[in-house]
Structure 1
Amino acid sequence: MVSKLQQGIKEMQNQNFEEAAKLFTEAIDEEPKNPIGYINFGNLLLHMSDYSRAQRFFERAIELDEHAATAYFGLGNTYYEQSLYPQAQEQFSKAVETGLEEADVYFMLGMTFVHQDHHKLALPYLLRAAELDSDDVDIQFQYGLCLAQAGEIAQAKATMLKVLELESEHSDAYYNLGVIALYEENPIQALEYFDRAIEIQPEHALAANGKKQIEQVLHNDQD
């Protein structure tokens, strides 16, 4: 027999939020000491951008079970969505400490450091996320970006090339490879990467600007 929580999750996945809320409420009424009901309702409220209520549901789940790792993760997401990165960082750390070993939590923890401009501190968490989910394009891309910002250029290049293996039309990966090529003093290759980024995304302003600057330098060299 499918439980009300399982039914509620299915309704939530099908965008039937009112029906999901009804089922989660019934599940909580039937088992008020079960943190899972509060976590699911919190996730629903988070999905609907009702952050203050979502926070209360996650906190209630933690009151019932201080080892409920997914409640800390949900609470972290609630803070993250409001750009409260230090608070989000604290909750994601607790989720990891209480046993949540998933790519998403390491990724989000890494991103809280990125948003605070602590790229070197972000790296081990983004690396762990990249190891746990090697096929996730966003995780691999953000890891590559963080490597570049931390000055790890060779690794950043290898990671951006991996992004292109996963998604051959990733314009931002081509743009960043262009920037790396400039760093390596290879303007011709940089131009090729910028051209490819623009080919995929004609309105890519950063690539267009990079291309323009290289063409000016090359033109001046010819004069």
Structure 2
Amino acid sequence: MRKKLLILSAFIISMTVFGQKDELKTAEKAVKSNDFVAALAAINQAEGLIANADQKTKAKFYYLKGKALYQNGSENSDILKVGEAFNQLIDYEKETNSQKYTNELSELLNKLITNVAEKASADYSKAIETKESADYLSAAKKFNQVYALSPRDTSFLDNAALVYYFGEDYETSKELYEKLLELNYTGITTIYVATNKEDGEEITFNDKKAMDLQVKLGIVENPREEAKDSRREFIFKNLAQNYSSLGDNTKALEVIARGRTEFPESYSLLIDEANIYYKLGDNAKFKEKLEEAITINPTDPTLYYNVGVMNMDQKNNAEAIKYFEKAIELKPDYGDAYNNIGAAIIEETKPIINEMNKSLSDFNKYDKLQEQQFEIYRKAIPYYEKAYELDGKSISIIQTLMGLYENLEMTEKLDAIRAVYDELKG
């Protein structure tokens, strides 16, 4: 009985081998006659039989699969599948130390890579001009195809992720950025640059050997190596922006936390974190992150201004004024900061006005309180006037000044600014 089973197993294996070879012969004939539909049908039939095939048969299968998918470079070919098939054959022959088909497919692959990369760059240049999402997405798709054709060129995956974001396909952009992190991609590379002697333009070379040859021939001068910085900080930043754009701010904060663990001094990631808290309505956290950002970048007036605004929201007006004054120190023409100092000063009148409303029958007390109110108005006026000087078309600033001039009976100034108001209102 055991002998019969062994004979039967051998018979099945023989039938499998014949099946493989028959399907591959059919595929080969179809490829030669450019009948790629028939070729792929035969390849699909052989696919399930190929696992236990010998080395020679496997290599031929991968070769024919690649050729059938390539379709002589037809526009209808699925470039992602072509790239996968070509690289599968090249990797297999490298692994088995055989080069029967590698040279042919490598040549086709390099031609395809160059062609798609050029189209991607052209589409991207067009997208920059048109700003149309469809043009960005066309470029992004092609950058992703280049990566599929040449997985070693990870920078094209980085390009695709970024351009998908520009095209507002946040889901695909997110997936590609996650893949870059999984691959531990850094983007750190060395580029070779020299100056063209004829026109003074900078030329970038793929390797030092090519640059040195041009120097030796006297075509270029001033050869140098330049290191590109790591892209990982920007990958965390862009990935978080994708999640935020998709409405998942919790995940965006998780990504930023990962990024800040790797780049603890990243001002850019910190500002993005602050903005997400602001989007979530968590003003306390927003203020906290801005204050932290000031320690990293103490010369940014916008940070001081925003912390001032948060202090105003929390009724810390004296503290708010300090931050607005610091913003003005760094940026003397910061009109909004002048305006907000005026507003913070006027906030001081609220308890006085409340007390005045309770003292309507006590004329002496009311008059004293009103004088305190007017004194505060006088203190606020110079800040509003400076804000008006910097932005003479702001209706809100003009209306505030009109109210202050009227209360303080500053008739001449009131008439002048009312004329401006009437002119702006048409």
* TM-score, length basis structure 1: 0.71
Tell me which residue corresponds to 1:203. Answer: 393
Is the 2:339–2:384 contact (alpha carbons within 8 Å) kept by the matching residues of 1?
A: yes
Residue 73 (str. 1) matches residue 237 (str. 2): yes
Residue 160 of structure 1 aligns with which residue? 324
Aligned pair 1:138/2:328, yes or no?
A: no
Pair 1:97-2:97 in alignment: no
For the 8 Å contact 1:147–1:155, the answer to whether it is kept is: yes
Give the deviation of 1:172 after TM superposition: 1.0
**Is the aligned partner of 1:175 residue 2:339?**
yes
CA distance, structure 2, for counterparts of residue 178 and residue 40 of structure 1 = 47
Q: Which has the higher contact order (CA 8 A, sep 6+)?
A: 1
2:173 corresponding residue in structure 1: 54
For 2:252 and 2:395, the matched residues in 1 are separated by: 32
- Structure 1 residues 83 and 128: CA distance shift in structure 2, 3 A: same
- Count how many residue pairs are aligned between Structure 1 and Structure 2: 208
Matching residue of 1:194: 384
Q: Deviations over 1:127-174 (max 9, x none)?
A: 111121122233332232223223333332222112112221111111
Matched letter for residue 115 of structure 1: K
Higher CA-based Rg: 2
Q: 1:65 to 1:176 in 2, by over 3 A?
A: same
5+ unaligned residues in a row in structure 1: which ranges? 1-7
When residues 164 and 97 of structure 1 are mapped into structure 2, their CA distance, relative to the original with a 3 A threshold, is: same
* Counterparts of 2:331 and 2:167, CA distance in 1: 30
Rounded to whole Å, the distance in 2 between the matches of 1:217 and 1:89 is 49
- In the alignment, which residue of structure 2 is the partner of 1:5? none
Structure 1 residues 156-214: Cα deviation after superposition (integer angstroms, max 9, x where no partner): 22221121122211111111111111123422232221222122112323323432343
SS in 2 for 1:202: coil
Distance of 1:125 and 1:45 partners within structure 2: 29
The structural deviation recorded for 1:126 is 0.7
Give the percent of matched residue pairs that are identical in Structure 1 and Structure 2: 17
Secondary structure in 2 aligned to 1:184?
A: helix
Structure 1 range deviating more: 53-62 or 173-182: 53-62
Deviation at 1:125, TM superposition (A): 1.0
CA distance in 1, matches of 2:398, 2:250: 35
Structure 1 residue identity aligned to 2:313: Q
The TM-score, its normalising length taken from structure 2, stands at: 0.41
Change (3 A) 1:79 1:137: farther
Change in 2 beyond 3 A, CA 1:212/1:165: same
| Contact 1:157-1:177 at 8 Å conserved across structures | yes
